[in-house]
Amino acid sequence: MLLELKGLCKSFGSVVAADDLNLALAPGEALGIIGPNGAGKTTLFNLIAGSLAPDRGEIRLNDRDITTASAHQRCKFGIGRSYQVPQPFESLTVFENLLVGAVHGRGLAERDAAAPCADILLRTGLIARADTPVRSLTLLERKRLEMARALATKPQLLLLDEIAGGLTEAECGALIETIRDVHAAGTAIVWIEHIVHALLAVVGRLIVLDFGRKVAEGEPHRVMASTEVRQIYIGIEA
């Protein structure tokens, strides 16, 4: 397994964000996660990427225990992450944002990092903006940069947090294509998304989280039609 979570628990005071979570992800798999606000989706990403430490449980990557590894170590082990609200390095150019990840995350020398970074900018449609300071980018470009920068660290596992939110239908379609390409190239993806049709266009398995617990899991369309999902999203008992 690429990623394994075993009995992961995390609480903030009385708020339970992860309640005995178990999860296994194969190399190259694409997994979708949905759930209402406050279900613990982003906390799960924080736990996997190393921004938060779990109260209990174990996180394994490629059969190696990374539960206590720091965020920068996990980046080097192959975990890349994008944020719901894009958080680029504002004072750097687009290209420099990627260089940081390629040089420090992959340990490449600067002259070896330039070509792969340019390639990622090409694939994510940002190449024309390479030397632009980040602060003048549009929302779509910032979302693309968020993914491009995560790709610059050459992750085996890419965590996407509501990357389709706030985009127009056409922009969303273009983004889906890019994510499909990344997945087709062999990168495993875990994608949190409220825009379900975008999610279903990419993922092969879907998990529903509520109050930090996994309440449904399986083939995406079957999960969407399940009683648990209807109860959570529509609030009626089927």
Partner 1 sequence: MAGLADTIIQGVLLGGLYALFAAGLSLTFGIMRLVNLAHGDLIVLAAFAILALASWLAVDPFLALLVALPLMFGVGFGLQHVLLNRALGHGILPPLLVTFGLSIIIQNGLMQGFTADSQRLQAGAIETASVSLGGGVTVGLMPLATFGSAIVVILGLNFLFYKTPLGRAFRATSDDLEIAELMGIDHRRIFSIAMGVAMIVATVAALYLGMRANFDPTIGPARLLYAFEAVIVGGLGSFWGTLAGGVIIGLAQTIGAELNPEWQILAGHLAFLVVLVLRPRGLFPRALD
Q: Which stretch binds partner 1 (CB under 8 A): 8-16, 49-57, 185-193, 208-216?
A: 49-57
Cβ–Cβ under 8 Å, residues 2 and 188: yes
Q: Counting contacts by CB under 8 A, is residue 177 touching partner 1?
A: no
CA distances from residue 235 to 15, 45, 231, 232 in whole angstroms, order as listed: 21, 26, 5, 5
Among 4, 6, 60, 104, contact with partner 1 (rule: CB under 8 A): 104
Q: Counting contacts by CB under 8 A, is residue 89 touching partner 1?
A: yes
Among 35, 40, 105, 212, contact with partner 1 (rule: CB under 8 A): 105
Q: Counting contacts by CB under 8 A, is residue 91 touching partner 1?
A: yes
Name the minimum Å distance from CB 121 to partner 1: 16
Q: Counting contacts by CB under 8 A, is residue 49 touching partner 1?
A: yes
Between 92 and 140, whose beta carbon lies closer to partner 1?
A: 92
Between 155 and 220, whose beta carbon lies closer to partner 1?
A: 155
Q: How many Å apart are CA 32 and CA 187, to the nearest integer?
A: 14
Q: How many Å apart are CA 194 and CA 206, to the nearest integer?
A: 12
Q: Which stretch binds partner 1 (CB under 8 A): 15-23, 79-87, 166-174, 186-194?
A: 79-87
Between 106 and 205, whose beta carbon lies closer to partner 1?
A: 106
Q: Counting contacts by CB under 8 A, is residue 142 touching partner 1?
A: no
Three-class DSSP category at 10: strand
Residue 4, Cβ density class (10 Å: 0-12 exposed, 13-18 middle, ≥19 buried): middle
Cβ–Cβ under 8 Å, residues 151 and 120: yes
Q: Counting contacts by CB under 8 A, is residue 22 touching partner 1?
A: no
CA distances from residue 7 to 20, 57, 60, 103, 216 in whole angstroms, order as listed: 4, 5, 12, 34, 16
Among 101, 147, 182, 224, contact with partner 1 (rule: CB under 8 A): 101
Query: Among positive and negative, which fits the CA dihedral 133, 137, 140, 141?
Result: negative
Q: Counting contacts by CB under 8 A, is residue 66 touching partner 1?
A: no
Q: Counting contacts by CB under 8 A, is residue 85 touching partner 1?
A: no
Q: Counting contacts by CB under 8 A, is residue 53 touching partner 1?
A: no
Residue 237, Cβ density class (10 Å: 0-12 exposed, 13-18 middle, ≥19 buried): exposed
Q: Counting contacts by CB under 8 A, is residue 76 touching partner 1?
A: yes
Cβ–Cβ under 8 Å, residues 186 and 28: yes
Beta strands in 109-212 (DSSP E): 157-161, 188-192, 205-210
Name the minimum Å distance from CB 118 to partner 1: 16
Question: Interface residues with partner 1 (CB under 8 A)?
Answer: 49-51, 70-72, 75-76, 80-81, 83, 87, 89-92, 96-97, 99-101, 103-107, 110, 149-150, 152-153
